[in-house]
Chain A
Amino acid sequence: MRKLFAGLAGLALIAAAAAWVLSAPRPLDETIISDLTGDAEAGRVIFLASGCSSCHRGGARDSDPLVLAGGRSFESDFGTFRAPNISPDPDHGIGTWTQSEFINAVMRGISPDGAHYYPAFPYTSYIRARPQDIADLYAYIMTLPADATPSEPHDLGFPFNIRRTVGLWKTLFLTDDWTVTGTLTEEEERGRYLAEALSHCAECHTPRNALGALDRDQWNMGAPNPSGRGRIPAIAGPDFNWSAFDVSAYLSSGLTPEFDVVGGSMADVVNNLRQLDKSENDAIAAYITRANE
């Protein structure tokens, strides 16, 4: 009996050790990212394409998209996430972060003190970004106004309130693979980069499994709205039949082919993307329609 108990305790110890190892943060190779030099002007395009301000602007409906004060709430099955202050404020924002810390936060979901971020922050998409683009983004965000609003804590249930569990989640689900593969034109490839790495369309338009990971077999085919009534519409699959012209026009005007006008959380996306060169929205449209062939 004592032997059995010792054996079980040993197994539990091994399992705990394995879980600890599997849940450890795995940052990017420092030699790749520390020497990059960011260009703020190029970073503005990354900022708009990536939709940072859609979540990180202040909580008021008409808050300035360039003041990344945080405070917006996002309901989910796991609890309520609250976007933090990522303005360059040294005390309440990210003003003291190094470029490497920023890139690891955005592309690996790891905080400067080594904790995991929850995948409500779409590093699950940004992992596919080019480190140079994120260095540019860092340079741009550091030019934006500082704001001293304190970040608010998330409100999550057990066991999701233990950040280390996110490490196991990452081991299971975090991947830098593209979902749409095959031979792509140059424009489709740019569109895939924008859509799958930066603009993170799939994070809302794709349904999730019980653990909150994207169901990549139903890529962009529409999903329940996690934070309110109604559904996030399909932008792929049998229920979606827009042309590339329709998609590009929508992203740069907010007008559907029926001339309904965008609302809800997509309005923030359009407010960002309409500031990009038309060729960028054409590229996303080429990708979206190519993915649907």
Chain B
Amino acid sequence: MTLKTFFGTCALGLTLALPALAETDPAVAQRKGQFQLYLHNFGVMGAMVQGRMDYDAALAQTAADNLFHITRHDQSRLWPEGTDSASIEGTRANPAIWDNLDDFVSKFVDLQNAAENLQSQAGNGLDALQPAFGATAGTCQACHEAYRDEAS
């Protein structure tokens, strides 16, 4: 994925966002929803990896399939300028995202690749799931380390 496709409508986002700065851009709620759906599926596999629930190949595969597809969701309207935590309340998206878009996008591509590998491994037993799950969590952490504020 190129920067251009990721932020294909960035300029459009900017014009749309400007009059809306007084109230939170609806894109913020939508992108939070996206992360909730990551969690919804990631958590099932996490519970198996940590032994909180028994490994279930079909359940793990479904969750990994979902995660694969959700990480393919087009991002171009989810990150308009002015929706960082310095500009508006109610988001943990650090302004550094917009200062380092190339790096942010490359971290997102890392997640996509990890999710693809996870999809290929999740149904092959707990021993296959564990490392693929760990690698995916690592891509989440890399981005959270750099670009997510503490919760308020």
Q: Which residues of A contact B (CB under 8 A)?
A: 61, 225, 228-233, 249, 253-255, 258-264, 267-268, 270
CA distance A225 to B92 in the complex (A): 13
Does chain A have a CB within 8 A of B150? yes
Contact across chains for B149 and A230 when beta carbons are under 8 A apart: yes
Residues of B within 8 A of A232 (CB): 150
- Is there an interface contact between A230 and B92, defined as CB atoms closer than 8 Å? yes
- The secondary-structure label for the interface of chain B is helix
Chain A residues within an 8 Å CB radius of B144? 261-264, 267
Please tell me if the beta carbons of B50 and A263 are within 8 angstroms of each other in the complex: no
Q: Which of B63-118 contact A (CB under 8 A)?
A: 85-86, 92
Known: A229-B86, A261-B144. 8 other contacts (CB 8 A): A229-B85, A229-B150, A231-B150, A249-B50, A253-B50, A261-B141, A264-B150, A268-B145
Q: Could you count the A-B residue pairs with CB atoms below 8 Å apart for me: how many are there?
A: 62
The smallest C-beta distance from A249 to any residue of chain B, in angstroms, reads 6
The size of the chain B interface, using a CB distance under 8 A, is 23
Residues of A within 8 A of B151 (CB): 230-231, 233
Query: Which partner residue on chain A sits nearest B134 by CB separation?
Result: A253
Select A264's contact among B39, B42, B47, B145, beta carbons within 8 Å.
B145
Nearest Cβ on chain B to A92's Cβ, whole angstroms: 27
Write 26 A-B pairs (CB below 8 A) sorted by A numbering. Answer: A225-B150, A228-B149, A229-B85, A229-B152, A230-B149, A230-B150, A231-B151, A233-B150, A233-B151, A253-B50, A253-B134, A254-B137, A258-B39, A259-B43, A261-B140, A261-B141, A262-B141, A262-B145, A263-B147, A264-B144, A264-B145, A264-B149, A264-B150, A267-B141, A268-B145, A270-B141
A264 touches B148 (CB 8 A): yes
Query: Closest B-chain residue to A264, C-beta based?
Result: B150
Residues of B within 8 A of A249 (CB): 50
User: Known contacts being A61-B145, A263-B145, A267-B141, is A230 close to B152, with CB within 8 Å?
Assistant: yes
Residues of B within 8 A of A (CB): 39, 42-43, 46-47, 50, 85-86, 92, 134, 137, 140-141, 143-152
Q: Which residue of B lies closest to A265 (CB)?
A: B150
Docked Cα-Cα span, A30 to B151, in Å, equals 45
A263 cross-chain contacts in B, Cβ below 8 A? 141, 143-145, 147-148
Q: Which residues from B are CB-within-8-Å of A259?
A: 39, 42-43, 46-47
- What residues of chain A lie closer than 8 Å to B42, measured between beta carbons? 259
What's the Cα separation between A231 and B150 when bound, in Å? Answer: 6
Output the least CB separation between A222 and chain B (Å).
10
Chain A's nearest CB lies how many Å from the CB of B66? 14
Nearest chain B CB to A136's CB is how many angstroms away?
29
Q: Are A267 and B145 in contact (CB under 8 A)?
A: yes
Question: A260 to B150, Cβ gap below 8 A?
Answer: no
- The residue among A231, A258, A261, A270 with the most chain B CB atoms within 10 A of its own CB is A261
B43 and A258 contacting across the interface, CB-CB below 8 Å: yes
| Docked CA distance A269–B131 (Å) | 21
Chain B residues with CB under 8 A of A267 = 141, 144-145
Q: In the bound complex, how far is the Cα of B149 from the Cα of A232, in angstroms?
A: 10
B39, B42, B144, B152 pick with most chain A CB within 10 angstroms: B144
Docked Cα-Cα span, A63 to B134, in Å, equals: 22
CB distance from A275 to the nearest CB of B (A): 14
Complex CA gap A61/B85 in Å reads 20
Q: How many whole Å from A203's CB to the nearest CB in chain B?
A: 15
Distance (Å) between the CB of A256 and the closest chain B CB? 10
Q: Choose one: B85, B92, B137, B152; the contact of A261 (CB below 8 Å).
A: B137
In the A-B complex, the 3 residue pairs with the closest CB atoms: A263-B144, A230-B150, A261-B140
Q: Give the distance in Å from the alpha carbon of A231 to the alpha carbon of B151 in the complex.
A: 6
